[in-house]
Amino acid sequence: MSGRRAYALVFVLALGWAGLLAALIEQPGYTDAYYYYNAAERWVGGQGLTDPYLWTYLDAPDTLPTPAFHYWMPLTSLLAAGSMALFGTHFGAAQIPSALSFAALVTLTYALGVAVGGARRHGVLGALLVAFGGFYTPFWTTTDAFALYGLVGAGALVAIGRGKCAGALPPAPREKVRRSSAAWRWYVLGGALSGLAHLTRADGVLLLGVLLAVALWPRPRAHWRGALAGLLAYLLVVLPWLVRNWAQFGAPLPSGGLSTAWLRSYDDLVAYPPNLRAADFWAWGAENILASRWEAFRNNLGTFIAVETWVVLGPFALGALWARRKQPFWWGGALYALGLHAAMTLVFAFPGYRGGLFHSAAALLPFWAVLSVLGLEAGVGWLARLRAWPRAQAQRVFSGAAVALAVALSLGVLSARLPRWNANGDFYRTLADDLPPDAVVMVNDPPALYYHAGLAGVVVPNADPSVLPQIARQYGVTHLLLDVNRTAPFTRLWSGSEQRDFLRLIRVYGTETPDPADDRRLFELVLQERSEP
């Protein structure tokens, strides 16, 4: 089979698997995916890039609705909106860009495996590991950034590696690298894809840093034109969005995301008023800071082992990377992996281990998959010589076992996630029947509330309930819904052991079951009108 036909076959098979995954997911399922879908739907519906809710008070405006994406980045929603404009305003249409991105990501992995491994089996095995991505599997085809970021991020890293090697795979001799005039074209592609990655996730800007570092080290004069070309390509891609942000927020990039470096707990993401300041963080004390970073390190190490490298393949991937440490093609991937894990552990610790690393490591999955295959093959070959096994047969057996493990892990995660995702809208539809159509609800998950009930809202704050009248007057909040995921200051209100004179309990849900996880309490806000001075 010719190379082009093989790539086409891989893409078609991966797209078929993506279609099945998409069909199994009936609705976005969780906050991030709801947010991206809602933004796309409102844009297609002529309401602009706006949000009818607040899920964080960082950089929050004074009124609702608010300009969208004052924290997250827009490309996932923009592509979903384009798909819905073509195929109809529904969740299935919004999934199409994710499905296509996933199929392209699998195909990229196949191409990478064939190129650096030198045999088609390396591409096939790597592609199967990404197709059955373990913990990633349920997330590939919902309306979140996983597949898209994985594709453009991995594509940027491949382009950066090709630029460092003057476009050659496997890496060209040093003399060819120094003299080639083709390298800058790969850096242009790497810069453009880094821009797309940044428009997908804020931490995608790390890829630009990787490009500049790889291009300029250790001989800046050899590749400074490529570095400059990559930077210009990046700026060309992101400039329209930076201009839009300046018009909406008065800054090219809102500061809320960067301020999460000063979080002292994950719930501080919804603190009201937002009080993320460097001075408060350092006043927290060295013991607390170190403990929080140790917690992030432990969790992020678990993400590397279980999520990024399929539980058992991490040592093989790292071993293969170490064996290729002198090959410039791999430097970008290695630097991105180190930089990403360091940033999500030492700087953005709480959002990092609560999902940031999980999202952004999708760009590393093709590299880990191919390196795992190469490392496993080398390790089994060494063991075969030691035990006098038939080498080829042993490699097939162990490679097949690795793929079988990935399949089993993927199916297990799917079976655990999908029932909860597909059923989580039932309560919101019940709630909509109990509220007036113009209600504005303070709730744990405003994007889910809007998707299922069409109601505006704000998030339950990490603050004393005494701030509710202030928030209600500012954003027109009429009701409060508390569930098991409330912030700590609202625990007594949720349990019924506390009352406030500005809250009137109107309904309690979940008392018919012994499970406290489905207990919810719905309050109406009763506010005293402020007297005129």
Q: Give residue 169's pLDDT.
A: 65
Residues 81 and 217 in one domain: yes
Task: Select from 203, 248, 199 the least CA-distant residue to 68.
Answer: 248
Beta pairing partners, 457: 53, 441
Which one-letter amino acid corresponds to residue 447?
P
- Within 250-313, residue ranges assigned H as helices are 256-259, 278-283, 286-302
40 and 180 fall within a common domain:
yes
Paired tokens of 383: 């063991």
Domain boundary among 420, 439, 466: 420
Residue 181 is predicted with a pLDDT of 57
Tell me what pLDDT residue 531 has: 42
pLDDT in the model for residue 220 = 86
Report yes or no on 483 lying in a domain. yes
Question: Tokens 């303070």 map to which residue?
Answer: 442
Regarding whether 326 and 342 lie in a shared domain, the answer is yes
Range of the domain at 392: 3-253+276-420
Asked if 316 and 454 sit in the same domain, the reply is no
The confidence score (pLDDT) of residue 180 equals 53
Residues 380 and 448 in one domain: no
Strands (E) across 184-294 are located at none
Cis before 273? omega within 30: yes
- 485 with 361, same domain: the answer is no
Structural domain contains residue 532: no
Do 36 and 167 belong together in one domain? Answer: yes
Same domain, 95 and 225: yes
Residue 124 resides in a domain: yes
The b/e string for 232-263 (b: 16+ C-beta within 10 A; e otherwise) is: ebbeebbeebeeebeebbeeebbebbebbbbb
Listed residues 401, 420, 439: the one ending a domain:
420
Q: Say what the pLDDT of residue 177 is.
A: 44
CB 195 within 8 A of CB 235: yes
Contact (CB, 8 A) for 374 and 320: yes
Q: Is residue 264 part of a domain?
A: no
pLDDT in tens, the chain (533 residues): 668 899 999 999 999 999 999 999 999 999 999 999 999 999 999 999 999 999 999 988 889 999 999 999 999 999 999 999 999 999 999 999 999 999 999 999 999 999 999 999 999 999 999 999 999 999 999 999 999 999 999 999 999 999 998 756 665 444 444 445 578 999 999 999 999 999 999 999 999 999 999 999 998 887 899 999 999 999 999 999 999 999 998 889 877 788 999 999 999 999 999 889 999 999 999 999 999 999 999 999 999 999 999 999 999 999 999 999 999 999 999 999 999 999 999 999 999 999 999 999 999 999 999 999 999 999 999 999 998 889 899 999 999 999 999 999 999 999 999 999 999 898 999 999 999 999 999 999 999 999 999 999 999 999 999 999 999 999 999 999 999 999 999 999 999 999 999 999 999 999 888 888 889 999 999 987 644 44
Assess whether 446 and 503 both reside in one domain: yes
Q: Are residues 324 and 392 in the same domain?
A: yes
| Domain's final residue, options 376, 403, 420 | 420
Please give the pLDDT value at position 321. Answer: 98
Q: What angle do CA 515, 520, 523 make, to 5 degrees?
A: 160
- Give CA separation, 434 vs 248, 338, 438, 455, 479, in Å: 36, 50, 12, 12, 11
pLDDT value of residue 513: 86
Residues 235 and 367 in one domain: yes
Q: Are residues 127 and 236 in the same domain?
A: yes
Beta bridge mates, 505: 523
> Is residue 175 domain-resident?
yes
- Residues in Cβ contact with 517 at an 8 Å cutoff, skipping those fewer than 6 apart: 484
259 assigned to some structural domain: no
DSSP letter (8 states) at residue 51: E
Q: What pLDDT is recorded for position 62? A: 86
In a domain, 269, yes or no: no
SS (H, E, C) 337-386: HHHHHHHHHHHCHHHHHHHHHHHHHHHHHHHHHHHHHHHHHHHHHHHHHH
Q: Tally Cβ neighbours within 10 Å of residue 294.
A: 12
Q: Does residue 262 lie in a domain region?
A: no
With CA atoms as reference, report the closest residue to 478 among 449, 437, 510, 508.
Answer: 437
Q: How many domains does the chain have?
A: 2
